[in-house]
Amino acid sequence: MQIFDYQPPAVPWLDIRYKDRDLIIINKPSGLLSNPGRAAHTFDCALTRLQALYPETILVHRLDCATSGIMVFARNKKAESHLKTQFQDRQSKKVYIAEVMGHVLQDQGIIDLAIVPDTEHPPYQKTLQAGETGGKSALTHYRVLERRENSTLVELSPETGRTHQLR
């Protein structure tokens, strides 16, 4: 469990990659929340930064704070509805690159484990242990890109979109 002092990156303040009348696409840096948390010190996030420039901005999906990558925001209700439907119907393809400790033995495969809230460490999730029942399906396809000295670079393609699925 990583505990860190939250300090969102200030540079770049916003890395806007595309903008039109319906949507805004940014490259979110690691360390920046997607949307504000409950605590006052978590107000600074991708959404509030965008809303300072474009007040109509609507959050469509999230990336974990530690995850960097492309995020799409809507600029009106019609665009929000269309974008959220595309995510719900799995029409969008999500691909993540991660470096994991140790060596992944198989060149590719599927991780199919149910996850549940980690009651000892909210708001995190955990995989079900042997003998436990319930949880939500979390299905991820993986492919090894490179084996390094003490780690493996993998491409992850989640089929489901569970909170903390790729941790």
**Exposure of 38 by Cβ count < 10 A (0-12 exposed, 13-18 middle, 19+ buried)?**
exposed
Beta strands in 46-133 (DSSP E): 58-59, 69-74, 96-101, 108-117, 125-127
Q: Catalytic: which of 15, 44, 64, 118?
A: 64
**Exposure of 3 by Cβ count < 10 A (0-12 exposed, 13-18 middle, 19+ buried)?**
exposed
What's the start-to-end Cα distance of the chain, in Å? Answer: 10
Write out the H or E segment, with its range, that includes residue 51: helix 46-53
- In this structure, the number of other CB atoms found within 10 A of the CB of residue 70 comes to 14
Residue 64 a catalytic site member: yes
- Active site amino acids: 64
